Structure 1
Amino acid sequence: MSIGALAARFGLATHVLRHWESMGLLHPHRDAGGRRRYGADDLTRVATILISKEAGLGLDIIRSLSATVDRTTRHKILHPEAEKLRSRIAAAQVSLELIEGGLNCAHEDITQCPNYQRLIAERVGPRVPAHGRAQDGNPPAARAD
């Protein structure tokens, strides 16, 4: 199939496929006139790239993954990506907790909600009274500004 047909099949612009080719992600055959011709393997590669991008992987990582069949290498590539994703999921869960707390709060003023107050207290940490001592009676820690 032509580059236009492949792009249309996946809802992509043709320049995206050209870019992926320039990065070594796609390797279309050329016909006698030099035009790109894509086959079933290319359909699979494009689908793989799209699924990988939806998983949050960048094109360089996708290229590295497609260049290896070694399980150990694949694990070395994917382990840091899994850690980044776990971190993003944790941050999203905290965001959802804040939003749901606001939705479920019966107070007119959200600053009066116990959930809001807990989240703020966790973020602020121990309060430092005006006279320069933390709630535990110790002077505040030296700051490295």
Structure 2
Amino acid sequence: MRSSAEELSIGDLAAGFGLAPHVLRHWEAMGVLEPVRRVGGQRRYTSGHRLRVALILSAQEAGMSLERIREWVGAPRAERRGEVLAEHLAELDGRLERLRVARELVAHAVECSSGDALECPELRRILEKSVESGCHARATRGSVARD
């Protein structure tokens, strides 16, 4: 049995990452973080939970949703965990390509010498190229349509 000195309250664990405790409660509800035990109704975490919080934050920074993180860390086999990561990597590669095209478009519009970027033949060529390559196709998983 661990001593209470080795255990962290939800507030202590959250504060170590600059998070509010409700974030960790939400993660618990989503199935990506679980306290080691409860004492008098209060969640208790070990120092090992710091690594889990760091992993969740890193995965979110990489664009993973909590659902995907749960699927990844909760997979019973290493093979499935690898598949989840490969799927996410493919989505990141698609996003990077769309961002590359968007950046090329904006960079040209900023530097455009035609006087009106909306009438620029080069801008039109960039747009036609992006349509041909499918860069404007919406990803189906985890994407949000924007107005």
TM-score (norm 2): 0.72
Counterparts in 2 of 1:52-71, with a 5 A limit?
A: 52-68=59-75, 70-71=77-78
* Residue 100, structure 1, aligned to residue 107, structure 2: yes
Report 1:102-121 matches (<5 A).
102-121=109-128
Structure 1 residue aligned with 2:145: none
Map 1:29-108; keep pairs closer than 5 Å: 29-30=36-37, 32-68=39-75, 70-108=77-115
Structure 2 CA distance for aligned equivalents of residues 49 and 81 of structure 1 = 14
Give unmatched runs, 5+ long, in structure 1.
126-145
Q: Which amino acid aligns with 1:98?
A: L
Specify which structure has the bigger relative contact order, considering alpha-carbon pairs within 8 angstroms and separated by 6 or more residues.
Answer: 2
Q: Deviations over 1:8-34 (max 9, x none)?
A: 221222111011112222221345423
From the two aligned structures, give the one with the greater strand fraction: 2
Give the alignment's Cα RMSD to 1 decimal. Answer: 2.3
Show the counterpart of 1:3: 10
**Identity %, equivalent residues:** 41
Show structure 1 runs of 4+ deviating over 6 A.
Answer: none
CA-CA distance at 1:96 after TM superposition: 0.1
> Structure 1 CA distance, aligned partners of 2:120 and 2:97?
23
Q: Which residue of 2 aligns with 1:19?
A: 26
**Contact 2:101–2:130 (CA<8 Å) still a contact in 1?**
no
How many residue pairs were aligned?
Answer: 125
Structure 1 residue 122: deviation in Å?
A: 4.5
Specify whether residues 102 and 13 from structure 1 end up closer, same or farther in structure 2 by C-alpha distance, changes over 3 A only. same
